[in-house]
Structures are given as structure tokens and as C-alpha cells.
Structure 1
Amino acid sequence: MSSLDEWIAGGEHATLTGHRVFYRQDGPVDGRPVTLVHGFPTSSHDWEPIVPALVEAGCRVTTLDLLGFGASDKPQGHDYRIAEQATIVESLWTHLGITGTALVAHDYGVSVAQELLARDSARVSRMAWLNGGLYSDLYRPLLIQRVILSPIGSILVRGMTETSYRASLRKTLGRPISDEDFHEMWRSTSSNDGIRVQHPLMRYIGERKANAQRWQHAHESYPGPTLFVWGPVDPISGRHVLPRLRERLPQAKIVVLDDDPATGHYPHVENPTAVAAALAPFLGA
């Protein structure tokens, strides 16, 4: 993975919904549009290991840091909502003149993608999902996530360090990642006083419950090509989700990254070669 500084240097900022949002585009201007939406608590930099393969497949890849993440604004005291994040994505599409795009989502980005499909699925040409809470009743947050979400989470989270952050993320992985990659993930989260917004960002877990029926219907009724690239040993949204996916979306293609050692919650960071091998032909078709 290239450094976070290099990743940010290759992008730009736009003012969307009144906030400064980081984004970048890679690949040929006339390539097939693809939008990648990252997860919590990191940033678009997670996608860096697979972007070259998508570019080689002929894709025009758009990535962004959602509000409160990475190099985008992290306003204090803000009422972070998935609906606003979806509006930011739509605003970026308008800013860049993107009328239709394939969409790839991971973790927190899964809820953003479900909201986008619920609003206008015709705008999404094909849909790829990586580990995330597609079904709120199957979502298993870690203890640290429950602590952050608790009434005292806003106070406790201020004591988070790079060491405790790394320990929490490591519990979600099936394959090891380098100390350098952990450090860059920490930097993306903690920059611009980002630790202080972790508590309000975590409210998305409640939003998943409140919007469960609408969001589930959105992805289950989506008529376009659908791909799941899944890390089975993810303790949050892993193997236990697969039977539901196979039952509800029998037409979808499912790639389970179970080669030893099996992949966990961050497939594109842990096992980028396999993820790229699954996504490139699907998105480049």
C-alpha cells in the first residue's frame, strides 16, 4: 500500500453540502465509471491496493473520504447521518458529471450504498459488496464499537491510542497486515482531531436498525449485476451472513475468500490480489 500522503496528493477537494470533501479519480477519462465507498473508521486509502487492477481493466475509478473520515472535514458536534453521506456521494457525482456508475461498498459504505440504491437504483450500473452490515440482525459489533456507541463513549474514545486502535482492528482480520498499513489507517482516522468524531459516527449502527426494511429491500430488489466478495472469518459480518445472501439473492455471484489463511473484515487490505481478481472482470465487463 502506498503512503497516505501519496494517496492524498493524487486527489482534490470539493465543497459538497457545505463541507470540504476529499476525492480522487484514477484511470482513463473515458473508462467505465466505478465508485468505491469505504468503511469505518478508515478512509478511501483502503482501496489503494486494488485501484491499479481496476484501472488496468479499463475503469475510471472515483474514490472519496466520507464526511468525518480521512482527509475530508471532520466537524465537531455534527449530527452524522448515512442520508447525508449518500447526498455527498450524489453531489460528488454531479460535480464530476457522473450520470451512471458501478458501485463498490465496504462496511459503513454498505449502508451508504443501500441508501443510494433506495433513492435511485437506475443510476447504479452494477453493484459489488464487501463485508458489511447488509442485515442489521446479523451485524455483530465488537466490544470497542459498543463502548464507543454507549452514552460515555464520547469521553472514553478520547483515550484511544494508536496501540489500542491497532489491537481493535487486528481482531477483525483473518490475514496479517503490516505495521506500516496499520499506521496509515490510524493516521487517516486520527488526523484533524478525528478521534473526537468516532462517537457520533458510530450512530450509524442505530440507523441500520431504523432503516432495516427499506435498506434490505433496496439491495434485494436491485435488478443489476451483483457481486459479493466476502471475508468469511470476519467476526462482525463474516461467514454467518452468507446463508442469508444465498437465500435472498440467488442470482448474485458470491466469491468467498477462504483460501488459507482465510480473509477477515478488510478483504481489499488483507487480500488485495484476490479481491482485484474478483472485481476487475466484474467491473470491466
Structure 2
Amino acid sequence: MPMLLTSSSSLRALPPPLAALSRARVRVAASAATSAPDGAGATASGFPSFLPRAAERIRDGAAIRLAKRIERVPVQTGFSGSPILSSCVRPLKQQQDADPIVLLHGFDSSCLEWRYTYPLLEEAGLEAWAVDILGWGFSDLATRPPCDVASKREHLYQFWKSYIKRPMVLVGPSLGAAVAIDFSINHPEAVSKLIFIGASVYSEGPKDMTRMPKFVSYAGVFILKSLPLRFLATRLAFNKTPNEVFDWVQIGRLHCLLPWWEDATVDFMIRGGYNVIKQIKQVKHKCLIMWGEDDGIISSKLAYRLHQELPDAILRQVRQCGHIPHVEKPREAAKLVLEFLERDRAEKADQAASVTPVLTNG
């Protein structure tokens, strides 16, 4: 629960490991687009009209700025007769000289999870996309498409095929790491590198819920949505004022207010969820594993286990940080991402320089 609700109202000073990041300002530029492709447009307050009205009660400036950039784009899948209007934050401009970075989110969360780190990555020059996983976030699911693992995978693939079209650096926090592993194994051509944050990849999925009556599942999901439970979880996790905590709860549960949220979440859970334990050793991409040293959700032992099982991975810890470094320590998280990408570019440059061209006389 804390992984979905918490945030940080301050960004600590960061030693400048990279010039681009040291110049970054915590600011999100306004998108040139004033309306989403579905014609929903924006409300008088500047939020997309498909967001729940509760968005207007949010006071967190970073969340407000990112929320105003959320749009819906059509994604055609094989399991839906009509395109799914899928929510995301698109980069202000696309570039061809570096791989795009695609930011997923954790279980029952949304792209707003990236409200602090997204602008840092974007202003450091990355082509950054924040994408809502099918069944969560702010997509239009009025037709109630299936939201099981296979459907989530195909939806992400079709999104990539329609809009990104180049190998991407796929970032998966918490359960999003399982989404990223499952996707990279099935569509390796779409991924260049992987970044895992507080990776939840050793769970076997909610097997008990697959045998439960649906009304029991809906009751459990209703509790998951409840304001008191989310408020209590956030209050226990962080020593902040009640007003701050309430705002974080509003951000974390905003997507739960859409009319199809219960159906989509129950559909995912009763179908068994993610189980990628056997897929981990099959991952062939270079990986960064990022872990908060005070993570109370996922044991640090699992971080070391993941590091050992992935063929090509580096492990980096964020000090004095819990489960969600990209929310709790956004500057540190952005620094590690940029260093990982810069290291890979440097290695490729060294390899290219070490190859001596062979000249032959005709």
C-alpha cells in the first residue's frame, strides 16, 4: 500500500554527477497539445476532462502539472473490437539519437507515480514516456476489456508498436518489474535495456483469489480503495502532517474513482496475476536494479537474489529510502538512471573505438 500513496514534497540537493541532471529544474513544461485524441479536451481547471473531479482537490504542484499532461491515445488490440483510449504522458518531442525511456508503475497505481522524477528525466534530455498499464491508471475501459497478464502484455506491445516504434529502456517499479520482465521475454525486440525499482518479481500471484466467489473479490477490492485504509497506510509509513498525507492519498487513489476500476482490478486478480519467477534467468538485456535500503515492502535479500539471477545486471541502493525511490528520492533515482544509460553509451563507444578498420588495396 505505501508504494501507491506516498510522495515527497521536497527535492534534496544532489551532487552533480552529470551536467544535464545538475541543471535540471523541477518544472514540467506545458504540452503543446490542448486536447486528447479522444476529443475530451480540458476542463476550466486545465485537467483532462476524463480525470475524476477529485483531481481538482489535489494541492501537490508536481502532481497537478503532470496530471494536466495526461492524454488518451487509441490502441488497437486483438481482444477488443474497438481501440482502447489509453492514458499516458507523452514526451514534448521525440528523438532518434537515443533510446526512449518508458516508465511503468506499480500495482494499482498510475503514471502520476512519476510526478517528481519524470520532469528530471525529461529536462536531462531523455525522451520519456509514462504509460498506464491496462486496467489501472486513467484509460477508457468502458467496454470492460480483459485485464489479465496476457492482455496487459498485448496492450503494451500495441502501444509500443503504434507510438514508440524503437527499442526502449523499460522501467518497472514494484509489480511493474514483473510486467517488464514478462514483456521483455515475449517481445525482446521492443526492449533495449531494463530498469527495476523495488522489484516485486518473486510473488506467485494471488492464487487464493482465483478460487474465491466474485463477490468476495469485489469486497476485497472495495477495501483496497477505501480512504481510511489508504490514509492509515500512508500515515504509518511517513512522518508527515495529516494535510500532506491526505493530499498523497488523493493522488494515489484518483484512478480508483473511475467507474471500471473495480471490474478491471478484480479481473486481473481472479486470473492469477503475475508469476515471472521462471522467466528471470531468461532475461538477456542489460539491467539496473534500484533498491531503497529501508524498503519495508520487498526484502533486500530479494534484491541480491535478483542481481544473482539476472545474467547482466548491476545493483544500486538508495540510502535512507523505502520502496519507491522515484517518489521518495527523485533526484537520486534520476541520477542512477542517467548514470546507467551513460555507462552503457560509454561502453558502446569504447567497443566501437577498439575496432580497427581493415583497409585493403583494390
Q: Which TM class, normalised by the smaller chain length?
A: 0.7 to 0.9
**Cα offset for 1:106?**
1.2
RMSD: 3.1
Residue 208 (structure 1) aligns with: 274
Q: Which amino acid aligns with 1:99?
A: R
Residue 45 (structure 2) aligns with: none
**Cα offset for 1:7?**
2.4
Q: Does the 8 A contact of 2:325 with 2:333 survive in 1?
A: yes
Q: Which amino acid aligns with 1:112?
A: V
Assess, with a 3 A threshold, how the Cα gap between structure 1 residues 271 and 90 changes in structure 2: closer, same or farther.
Answer: same
More moved, 24-33 vs 1-10: 1-10
Measured against aligned partners, the alpha-carbon deviations of 1:96-128 in whole angstroms (never above 9, x if no partner) come to 142211111112322221122112323311111
Assess, with a 3 A threshold, how the Cα gap between structure 1 residues 86 and 119 changes in structure 2: closer, same or farther.
Answer: same
Assess, with a 3 A threshold, how the Cα gap between structure 1 residues 276 and 155 changes in structure 2: closer, same or farther.
Answer: same
SS at match of 1:226: strand
Measured against aligned partners, the alpha-carbon deviations of 1:36-89 in whole angstroms (never above 9, x if no partner) come to 111111101101211122123321011111222121134586532122112111
Unaligned ranges ≥5, structure 2: 1-59, 78-82, 346-362
SS at match of 1:154: helix
Q: Does the 8 A contact of 1:114 with 1:218 survive in 2?
A: no
**Cα offset for 1:277?**
1.3
Residue 52 (structure 2) aligns with: none
Point out the structure with the larger helix share.
Answer: 1
Residue 19 (structure 1) aligns with: 84
Residue 218 (structure 1) aligns with: 282
Q: Which amino acid aligns with 2:289?
A: F
- Quick one: which of 153, 166, 183 aligns to 1:116? 183
Assess, with a 3 A threshold, how the Cα gap between structure 1 residues 165 and 195 changes in structure 2: closer, same or farther.
Answer: farther
Q: TM-score, normalised by structure 2?
A: 0.65
Residue 267 (structure 1) aligns with: 325
Q: Distance in 2 between matches of 1:182 and 1:146?
A: 28
**Cα offset for 1:251?**
4.2
- Quick one: which of 164, 167, 171 aligns to 1:100? 167
Unaligned ranges ≥5, structure 1: none
Q: Does the 8 A contact of 1:86 with 1:113 survive in 2?
A: no
- Quick one: which of 252, 256, 280 aligns to 2:317? 256
Assess, with a 3 A threshold, how the Cα gap between structure 1 residues 156 and 274 changes in structure 2: closer, same or farther.
Answer: same
Higher relative contact order (CA 8 A, sep 6+): 1
Q: Distance in 1 between matches of 2:238 and 2:261?
A: 26
Matched residues, percent identical? 21
Written as runs of structure 1 = structure 2, the 5 A alignment for 1:44-193 is: 44-75=111-142, 78-136=145-203, 151=213, 152-159=216-223, 160-168=225-233, 173=237, 178-179=244-245, 180-193=247-260
Q: TM-score, normalised by structure 1?
A: 0.81
